Amino acid sequence: MISSHVYALVHTIPDPPLPLWTFLISTVVKVIVLFTVYMVGAALLTLAERKISAWIQDRHGPNRVGGKLGLLQPAADGVKSIMKEETLPAHVNKPLFMLAPMMAFIPALMAAAVIPFGAPWDSRWGRIPMIVADLPVGFLFTLAITSLGVYGIVLAGWSSNNKYALLGGLRSSAQMVSYEIAMGMSLIPVLLLAGNVTLNEIVDQQASMHLWNVATLTMSFFVFMVAAFAETNRLPFDLPEAESELVAGYHTEYSAMKFSMFPISEYANMTTSSALMVTLFFGGWDIPFTTVDNTSGVSFVMLLLSIAIFAVKTLFFLFLFIWVRWTLPRFRYDQLMSLGWKIMLPMALTYIVIVASVMLALDYLGLERGLLYGLALLAVNIVLVIITFVILDRGRIISPAYGRATPQQIARLRAVTATRAQLSPESGD
């Protein structure tokens, strides 16, 4: 087990700069591979969504195109979207109507550029980091870029000149503002523990502590995960496009590929959120039971292993997104706003104070940032989880079906309804 002092010593030694041509060629290859995986993955996620929903509902799902597994169904859907007529209603604001899908689509892909997806590779041409843009601002760039996607949704709702679309855009903007603050606040404990905003450094910090942040910062993970569901407009937070209320919400007037860009951006945002949760709270690409990948570059075999570990973790959270969609009912809008402002934000702010106080006490005691430090934080988080979910919540607040009325009020209303039914003229007949 390597101490945090060794990690600090290793990471103070900068890697030698790559030759210019190596840097340019490796960057181009990483860009092509990453965004190809993102685009193909978004298409395959539509098939995964249908297959998983069919599995949950005990049916077959798509099986007419591409054999029994329906593997060519995404390709058939893409051809259908390309071949459909591009409608441009006369009553829309045409420049903004055309711009909105692009504004929703581009930030979803740009956010993936700063997420490391593998251990640094010691190639014959130099040490190549498995990240497109290793920015010093780290995930702050991701939060900033993903927040721009709401502009495309709001513009789509406003430029459509449609009441349903406008309501969907307004809902999306209010939802984004409500949960983006809680999401940002939930990551401050991660910064306090890592002492850095660079995502690779956060991965190394979890490896040096020999505990993932989901164990040492459990409440931060919970707030971030709930906010990620809200930011991606997924159930139970899909109020901007609630079919039963708003037809299709902000993309009611769209068709063909302009319509398809909205679901593609949603699936890309799901992938980015899943990759962020893996990186910030589940060790990222770190290869377990070894510290070689955190102190130096790795061989090509170890590189593939680290990418596979990162991919498996990300796929788990993508499955969670889909599983929740076909399991939980939708929130009412007052529940959605109340959860964001009255519960998530105060919880995140309170947790910052608690984590900062505990870390200050542990540092005062001279405890090294290692396994014992992480176990102390784990014990604090176990207590906080019990207090929050077992004592305070008891399955009422964090529940889409929860209402404000007490059981006594509900019984009183039922008695009034029964009395009115007895006194009505029809009951006398």
C-alpha separations of 34 from 48, 132, 266, 350 in Å: 20, 8, 17, 38
Q: Is the pLDDT of residue 1 over 50?
A: no
Q: How far from chain centre, in Å, is Cα 31?
A: 21
User: Does the pTM exceed 0.95?
Assistant: no
The reported pLDDT for the residue numbered 246 is 65
Under the banding of pLDDT at 50, 70 and 90, the label for residue 23 is: confident
Q: Give dist(CA 104, CA 172) in Å, integer.
A: 12
Q: Is the pLDDT of residue 88 over 90?
A: no
The reported pLDDT for the residue numbered 313 is 94
Mean pLDDT on 125-139: 84
- The full set of domain ranges for the chain reads 4-428
- Span of 26-35, 56-65, 204-213, 394-403 with lowest mean pLDDT: 394-403
Answer with the residue of higher pLDDT: 231 or 224.
224
Alpha helices in 195-299 (DSSP H): 199-209, 213-216, 218-231, 243-246, 256-281, 292-295
C-alpha separations of 296 from 7, 149, 273, 302, 378 in Å: 10, 37, 28, 12, 28
pLDDT above 70 as % of the chain: 90
Answer with the residue of higher pLDDT: 217 or 404.
217
Return contacts of 373-381, CB within 8 angstroms, 24+ apart.
373/209, 374/209, 374/210, 374/211, 374/215, 374/216, 375/211, 377/193, 377/215, 377/216, 377/217, 378/211, 378/215, 378/216, 380/354, 381/215, 381/216, 381/217, 381/218, 381/219
Under the banding of pLDDT at 50, 70 and 90, the label for residue 425 is: low
The reported pLDDT for the residue numbered 380 is 93
Return phi, psi of residue 96, to 5°.
Answer: -70, -35
Under the banding of pLDDT at 50, 70 and 90, the label for residue 231 is: confident
Under the banding of pLDDT at 50, 70 and 90, the label for residue 166 is: confident
**Residue 249 φ/ψ region, left for φ over 0, alpha for ψ in the -120 to 50 degree band, beta for the rest:** left
167: Cβ–Cβ under 8 A, 6 or more apart, which residues?
A: 157, 246, 249
The reported pLDDT for the residue numbered 404 is 62
Mean pLDDT on 386-396: 77
Q: What share of the chain is helix, strand, coil (3-state, %, to 5)?
A: 70, 5, 30
Q: Is the pLDDT of residue 142 over 90?
A: no
Q: How many degrees, rounded to 5, is the angle at CA 425 between CA 422 and CA 426? A: 80
Mean pLDDT on 3-11: 50
Q: Is the pLDDT of residue 407 over 60?
A: yes
